[in-house]
Amino acid sequence: MDPNFKLFDTCDLDTQGLIAALNATTDAFYVSGAGLGLRIETAGCGGLTRKEPPERETTAGKRKASDEEEEEEEERLNKKMFRNQYDTDVTTWSPTGRLFQVEYAMEAVKQGSAAIGLRSRSHVVLACVNKAQSELSSHQKKIFKVDDHIGVAIAGLTADGRVLSRYMRSEAINHSFTYESPLPVGRLVVHLADKAQVCTQRSWKRPYGVGLLVGGLDESGAHLYYNCPSGNYFEYQAFAIGSRSQAAKTYLERRFESFADSSREDLIKDAILAVRETLQGETLKSSLCTVSVLGVGEPFHFLDQETIQNVIDTFEKVADEEEGEGEAEPAAPAEEGGDGTGDQDVAPMET
């Protein structure tokens, strides 16, 4: 590499693989992290040179699971998003009809730790992985009560999530005040989506960098919605967002048809099992996840650690008894961040 190079783009904040160290006086640079690649254009005296990133060490090699669906996820993660001329402003269209800033905002959601939601006819369960910045700090709050009948789980920039939760709470309170009845979830998600859309069409704003799993109960039953930074929202029987959510989604895809008629206890168990899928071999402990429930006759509340641990014990014991399955291996107690190298590069503002 030309020692007099001038770096064209310092950081691609949209890709997870960032240049961890760049030494201007030497040739050396390396890319760390899972998944996404980087193409660096450097210019120096003598012209433009292009350097492809060296063979990347992905976490695929480290994973024990050889599930083909997870390899597909690898492919999806490996899809490269390169910087281009059309991605500086949210108000700039690309020639192919894309708004890159909005897509980059959706990438931010993938950086956050996993959040999972599932629903039956009468209940909605929201669960998330507790990720702490360091051993010294407490973990980020990712599930919020919006009203007795609505809860929200977030993934991505928690600050944005907190602000949106406050907005949702005030919407719910105002609706209650005016109409003396609880805000229907469907209305709330539309408000949220419209609010998100505004940020995709103002040059002085940026899209919210948070995905929201909104679970709630109204006259037509239990609902689960996903609101993304683009301003779109979809209704789901079950969904997972955040990092390694594909593993949870795979699990949920196998089981979702039974959710509608599931009992409350089965739904909770499925949620915790889905959380376990995202942990990729790390031992599942009640301290690692937060679970919340709401349903008919049951206002939104969090499950306490003991209850969660009891549920974990029921299936961990079963898994222990099944030899040769090779699925759950609660061997050595896992440490935070010991399973994915990519997590260590996550910016402090993100969950």
Examine residue 296 and tell whether it contacts other proteins (CB under 8 A).
no
Examine residue 264 and tell whether it contacts other proteins (CB under 8 A).
no
Dihedral sign for Cα 297, 302, 306, 312, please.
Answer: positive
CB-nearer residue toward other proteins: 106 or 143 = 143
CB-nearer residue toward other proteins: 176 or 280 = 176
Examine residue 142 and tell whether it contacts other proteins (CB under 8 A).
no
CB-nearer residue toward other proteins: 101 or 140 = 140
Applying the rule CB under 8 A, the residues between 156 and 195 that interact with other proteins are: 166, 169-170, 173-174, 176-177
Examine residue 310 and tell whether it contacts other proteins (CB under 8 A).
no
CB-nearer residue toward other proteins: 173 or 349 = 173
Residues 269 and 298: their CA atoms lie apart, in Å, by 17
Closest approach, Cβ 173 to other proteins, in A, equals 5
Closest approach, Cβ 151 to other proteins, in A, equals 12
Residues 129 and 65: their CA atoms lie apart, in Å, by 20
52: which 2 tokens? 């492809």
Q: What are phi and psi of 99, to 5 degrees?
A: -105, 100
CB-nearer residue toward other proteins: 121 or 166 = 166
Residue 117 three-state SS:
strand
Closest approach, Cβ 182 to other proteins, in A, equals 12
Closest approach, Cβ 246 to other proteins, in A, equals 33
CB-nearer residue toward other proteins: 162 or 269 = 162
**Among 119, 114, 125, 90, residue whose Cα is nearest residue 196:** 90
**Total residues binding other proteins (CB under 8 A):** 8
Examine residue 51 and tell whether it contacts other proteins (CB under 8 A).
no
Residue 342 CA, distance from chain mean position: 14
Residues 289 and 115: their CA atoms lie apart, in Å, by 10
Give the residue, chosen from 63, 119, 145, 244, that forms a contact with other proteins under the rule CB under 8 A. 145
Applying the rule CB under 8 A, the residues between 89 and 128 that interact with other proteins are: none
Q: What are phi and psi of 131, to 5 degrees?
A: -115, 120
Residues 6+ apart with CB under 8 A from 170: none
Residues 73 and 253: their CA atoms lie apart, in Å, by 14
Dihedral sign for Cα 217, 220, 221, 222, please.
Answer: negative
Footprint of other proteins (CB under 8 A): 145, 166, 169-170, 173-174, 176-177
